[in-house]
Structures are given as structure tokens and as C-alpha cells.
Amino acid sequence: MDLIALSDIYGDIDALKDFVKTLDTREKDRRVFVLAGDIGFTLNQQEYLQIFSLLAHSSNYVLYVPGDADIKNLNINLPNVINLDRNSFSLEIDGIRLGFLGLGGAPKHSVREDEPLPNTYDESNPIVKDGILTSLKINLEKIMLTNPHYLILVTHSPPYGIADRSTPITLREIVILEEILLDADYKEEKGKRAAASPRRLGSKAIKEFVEYYKPEIHIFGHVHKQGGKCMREGDTCFYNISHFSLMPYKLTGRKFLTIKISNERKFEASFDSFVTKELYFRDFLEKYL
């Protein structure tokens, strides 16, 4: 069974179409797509439908959580498309049972104050944080009734402290570039500057949950600059899978994660980019930068 995880697609339907074409149609029934949020860009329902239909036709299931840029209820009525936001779902392929649970949106502190994003939560409010934890725990309990071989948590936000640092790129040229742009922003609105310093953007509620309930796999996106990182802590493997879209950085876009699950105890995960790998270096630069 193959789990193909994508995040931060931002409505890039053309890239997605090209990507899907590269997949082996014979493997469709053994394939599950996992989308870790920020699926659309314009909040246009038609755009979402297009994306989900495309993926639903190329796989057994499409499991998703909405990101901070998506609305909470995407209202996708396709039979094999499941919203994991504060929800759980179990499936069995080739005798391997997978239990999924999820949380969409992103903590307020991880986005710019002035950006009107539709799906954020303020976890500094204890009631909100408790609500998140309670929902995750209830869904965990439900999913454990199916006795899964793997417990997989899908969130849009990283847990606090893991692949969640928003670092400025260290090269002087980029610093100059960012300084110039940020300075221009700053003069317009001071609030924007606050999001420019390096800091941890992950969710403390999610961190608390994974620390105690230890899913085998945790898939998330959101913090673009940490995309492609995989880390292991205890029994949990963490994957920041952002970002699939060519925006905001061409250099780190087109990314996806494949998790091949061969039996009840063994899986292999690898990151890849959706590009023509055989191009010579010069041609590659020409085409993709």
C-alpha cells in the first residue's frame, strides 16, 4: 500500500494534473492520498472540486485536513474523500489496518496578524486548546476500537518544536532582499514585522497530544521552509511535507512524500519532487528555476 502525502497545493491544478499522470494507474486501489491542508487558494468551490475529483479518481481514498487558507467545511461530496479535521477514519488494504485522525487549520500565532485567513485557532486560549485536545482524544479512542496496525495523525500545523522553525534564509543576498521587502511592508503596517523573526510556529496542543499518545506517523505541512524534514522521536516519525505548489518557493516546491507500507510493522518513507529527473543540470536549472 502506498500513502502519497501532499501539502500546500494552493490550487495548483496544472501541476497536480501533471503529477497524477506520472502515477501507475494499476496501483490505484492500493493508493491513498493524504492532504495536509492549504489545498486551494481562491476559496472557489469549483477549484476544490476539481482537485479532489482528480485525486479521487486516481486512488482508493483521499483523506484530508483543511489548512489555514482553506475554509473549515469544504463540503466535498465524493464517496472516497474523507475530511479528517477533528475526525477519524480507518481503512484496510492488503490486510493492513490504518487508523487516521486529524486536525485542520493553524494556530493564530503562526500566521501574520493582518492576513484574513479563514481557518485559524487561538490556542493561547485554554478553552480552545482543551477543545482541540479533547477532540483528538475522543477520535483516538474511536479509532483504537478498530485495532489499527498504524496510527497516523494528519494535521496542517506542525507540533511545536518539530520542523516548525520559520528561519530567514541565511545568505546575505537573501537577507538583503527580505529586509528590503519587509521594510516596505513594515512601513505600511507594523504588525507584519512581527512574523518576520525566526521562531517556532508549531502548535502546542498538537505537541502535547503526540507527546502522550504517540502515533507511529505524524504528517503535517504549513511551515514551508522546513518542508522535506523527517524526524523521529521515540516511536513517532514526523514528516513536514510542505510544499507541493510552485509557490511560494520554486526551489522547494513540487514536493511529495511516499510512504510504502509493506506489512504490519514495516514502512518506508521517502521524499521526492515532481520533476523530470533525467534532465542535465543546466537544462534542469533552465526549466525549474
Partner 1 sequence: MSEKRCGPTDRVEVRDYQIQVVNEILDSFRNGKRNVFVSLQQGSGKTIIALLALCNLVNEGYVNSVLILIPRRILVDQWVTKAQEMFYGLGLLRNPTLSKMRIEQIRGWLKHTQALGIVMTDQSYQRYIRKDYFSESDFDLVIVDEAADLVVARDFIEGFRMSEYLSGLEKWQTRKIFLLPYHVSEKKIRAMVSKFGKESVLIRRIIEDLPTFHYTVNDPIVIGDPIINTFVDALDEYYKRIKVNVNRILTKYSVEGYRENLETLLNPKVLEKLKKIYGVDDETLEQIKTLITKYILIQHLKKWFLYSNREELSRSILASQFEVNEWLRTEDKKLDKLAEVVRDYLSRDYKIYIFSQYVSTAELIENYLKEKLNLRDRDITLITGLVEDQWSRLDVFKRAGRILVTTPVLDKGADIPLRKGVAIIFTPPSSIEKLFQLIGRIRGGEITFLAYKGSEEETMNNVAEEIRRSLAEASGEKYGLDRFI
Place of cell 486512488: 59
Q: Which helix (H) or strand (E) holds 230?
A: strand 229-233
Minimum distance from CB of 237 to partner 1 (Å)? 16
Which residues in the chain belong to E strands, given as ranges? 2-6, 31-35, 61-64, 81-83, 88-93, 96-103, 106-107, 120-121, 150-155, 165-166, 199-200, 217-220, 229-233, 236-240, 255-261, 267-273
Q: Which is nearer to partner 1, 212 or 281 (by Cβ)?
A: 281
Q: Which is nearer to partner 1, 183 or 235 (by Cβ)?
A: 183
Residue 13 burial (10 A CB sphere; 0-12, 13-18, 19+): middle
Q: Which is nearer to partner 1, 11 or 227 (by Cβ)?
A: 227
Minimum distance from CB of 228 to partner 1 (Å)? 3
Q: Which is nearer to partner 1, 43 or 285 (by Cβ)?
A: 285
Q: Which is nearer to partner 1, 138 or 175 (by Cβ)?
A: 175
In the structure grid, which three cell numbers stand for residue 191, read together? 504588525
The site for partner 1 (CB under 8 A) is made up of 165, 167, 169-174, 176-177, 179-181, 183-184, 227-229, 250-255, 271-273, 275, 277-282, 284-286, 288-289
Minimum distance from CB of 207 to partner 1 (Å)? 17
Minimum distance from CB of 272 to partner 1 (Å)? 6
Minimum distance from CB of 47 to partner 1 (Å)? 24
Residues in Cβ contact with 172 at an 8 Å cutoff, skipping those fewer than 6 apart: none
SS3 145: coil
SS3 231: strand
Minimum distance from CB of 21 to partner 1 (Å)? 17
Q: Which is nearer to partner 1, 92 or 283 (by Cβ)?
A: 283
For 169-199, the DSSP string reads P-SHHHHHHHHHHHHHHHHH-GGGGGGGS-E
